[in-house]
Homo-oligomer: A and B are copies of this chain.
Amino acid sequence: MPIRPTDQVLHKAAWLYYTHGMRQDEVAKHLNISRASVAMYLRRARETGIVNIATSTQLFADDVLARQLEDAIGLKSVWIVPEDRHALDPTAEMPVVAAAVFLELIGKGGRVGVAWGRTVYHIADVMPFADLQGVTVVQLCGNLGAPYSYRPDQCTTEIARRLNAEGINFYAPLVLSSERLAHELRQEPVIQEQLATIPDCTLALYSVGGIEADSHLVKCGALTAEEMKALGEAGAAGVIAGQVIDREGQLMDCTHNRRCISADLDSIRSIPKRMMVVQEDEKLEPLVAAIKGGFASHLIITASMARRLLDRLSGTMAPGSGT
């Protein structure tokens, strides 16, 4: 694409204002335009990510609980979204924190795998605009026409759009009606190639799904409430990228999983930074399973969840090296 002159002005205005600290009227004089235009350009520069204003997420990582959790379960980093009285609504805040952390974790030229779910969609929705050329956003799981329109491809596309990154969608359904068909589809070169690129990701973004009757997979029609109930009785504990895992975080041996087209769990585990974001208080058990399964290296949760998680894990895992 050739260089559009409009973009040049946008860049110049942003550079002079933000990097040089000129006032808007100085920029206007410099570029021979009106100050109002400068203000407009600057807004667009912010909106398109030419200018990136990032606030350190340190605030959320600087929490005693966060440190304890890091020590207790050996995670790289934990961010705690506070729930105290005059804090903001933690449920609304979490995606914002997650988006900021996400931006901090992507490096130039990185490859990011994005899964699907309500949480991920909300994160996409508040993702700031940035100019991350060279970044690729790939979809971690197949598609599912959801009634709530949180389609997997939408999550990927939206994030890629906001980051000025390349988005690679996955043109396969998440669940097929037969194991045979799923197997055959996975053999297709297009699909196979895409699945093969997933271990190259440097960062993964997902949540863990629950296995209740009102869980996402059930609501979207991938499983009936009965099937889900049966899976629960058979030892299921959560859902990762559309696939059901047991209490130890291992892939369940079940029809549903065999009918799924999604990133292989081992591929996901091999991604260096695995960002797990959990909003719902009910997801303690799924989260424990996901952590045991090695699906989280970076965790973003509420303070109450952090406390419960710490209680829950301090018994079953090594007590860690912290004081």
Contact = CB atoms under 8 A, between A and B. Distances in A.
Contact of A59 (B15, B54, B107): B15
Contact of A30 (B18, B45, B86): B86
A54 B54 contact: yes
Contacts of A59: 8, 11-12, 15
What 8 A-B pairs are tightest by C-beta distance, nearest first?
A11-B59, A107-B107, A56-B131, A19-B55, A18-B55, A50-B56, A52-B54, A14-B55
Interface in A79-114: 86, 88, 96, 100, 104-105, 107-108
A107 B203 CA distance: 13
B50 A55 contact: yes
A62 interface: yes
A293 interface: no
Contact of A88 (B3, B20, B51, B88): B20
Contacts of A104: 108
Interface centre among A8, A12, A54, A55 (most CB of B within 10 A): A55
B19 A96 contact: yes
Interface string A236-275: 0000000000000000000000000000000000000000
A51 B55 contact: yes
Contacts of A50: 55-56, 58
Nearest to A67: B3
6 contacts: A49-B56, A50-B56, A51-B53, A51-B54, A52-B54, A107-B107
A51 to B, nearest CB: 5
Size bin of chain A's contact surface: 20 to 34
A121 B105 CA distance: 29
A122 to B, nearest CB: 15
A105 B108 contact: yes
A58 B107 CA distance: 16
Contacts of A108: 104-105, 107
- Which of A12, A50, A58 has the most C-beta atoms of chain B within 10 angstroms of its own C-beta? A58
Contacts of A133: 58
B86 A53 contact: no
Contacts of A30: 86
A107 B56 CA distance: 15
Contact of A14 (B52, B56, B107): B56
A56 B130 CA distance: 9
A156 to B, nearest CB: 23
A8 B131 contact: no
A50 B12 CA distance: 25
- The residue in A45, A49, A52 that gathers the most chain B C-beta atoms within 10 A of its C-beta is A52
Contacts of A18: 53-55
A104 B62 CA distance: 25
A76 to B, nearest CB: 10
